[in-house]
A = this chain, B = another copy of it.
Amino acid sequence: MEGEAKNTRLLAQPLYKRAEVEMTNRIATGRWPAGYQLANEFALADEFGVSQGTIRKALVAMERRGLLMRSPGRGTMVCKTTQEESLFAFFRLRNESGEMVIPTPAREEISSGDPTSREIEVLGPDCRQVIRLNRLRQNGGTPFVVERMSFDVATCDGMVEDLPLPGSLYPYLHERFGLMIMTVSESITAAVADDDLAAALEVETGAPLLKVVRVARDLSDRKVELRDSFYRTDFASYQIELARS
């Protein structure tokens, strides 16, 4: 810790940040799979050559990010993202009582092709070919949302052969391609149903729909998914909590 730390401390991230990045990578790469029980704070501190207080600062930050679960007596574990939790991690639609609306997959089509200029803008100029996934989901037998997703074929080559894809896509992306979705940006507008959407969602042409454009980013903040979703909002709404600042 002596000279080495002093030299690098000026140039690089603080020690707790470096520990956080390294431990995050171990989760992302599967070396620490979901449910994995971490060594205790002193052992980790020893491994990283820092003190227990420093490693704790990294662990607490990762707990706040939702990557770890900590509790006295039991220790620290990697969050087990069940299928359900993961499906709904970014799913903001709730009914009037605030209960989650469960969308079950109904139809899906997958194809690949040349990227549009919009897809290149999001997925990056290196994108040579895209995979497009179209899905219809329903709730209790009623069509609910049409989703149109685009991925760079370079990041998830082989997806077209994996049909039918699982209902929750993000755990699949993680296990199959090592893509761990960490943040999504959503842009919400009001739209009217065109003939295609009206037919799929079983509403009248011109009916109001919620249009949600999503850009999803992975652990290294690379944009990996572009998704347009069209929701009926006659029995559910997009709900969000905003805190000051």
Binding site for B on A (CB under 8 A): 65-67, 79, 89-90, 92, 94, 181-192, 206, 208-210, 213, 231, 233, 237-245
Contacts and interface: CB of A to CB of B under 8 A. Distances in A.
A121 to B, nearest CB: 11
Given A191-B208, A206-B206, A208-B192, A245 B79 contact: yes
A191 B188 contact: no
Contact of A188 (B206, B209, B210): B210
Given A65-B244, A65-B245, A79-B245, 4 more contacts: A65-B243, A186-B239, A188-B233, A190-B208
Contact of A210 (B65, B79, B189): B189
A67 B245 CA distance: 8
Interface residues of A, dominant DSSP: strand
A98 to B, nearest CB: 9
A188 B185 contact: no
A183 B237 contact: no
A69 to B, nearest CB: 10
B90 A183 contact: no
A6 B183 CA distance: 42
Given A92-B242, A185-B241, A245-B89, A190 B206 contact: no
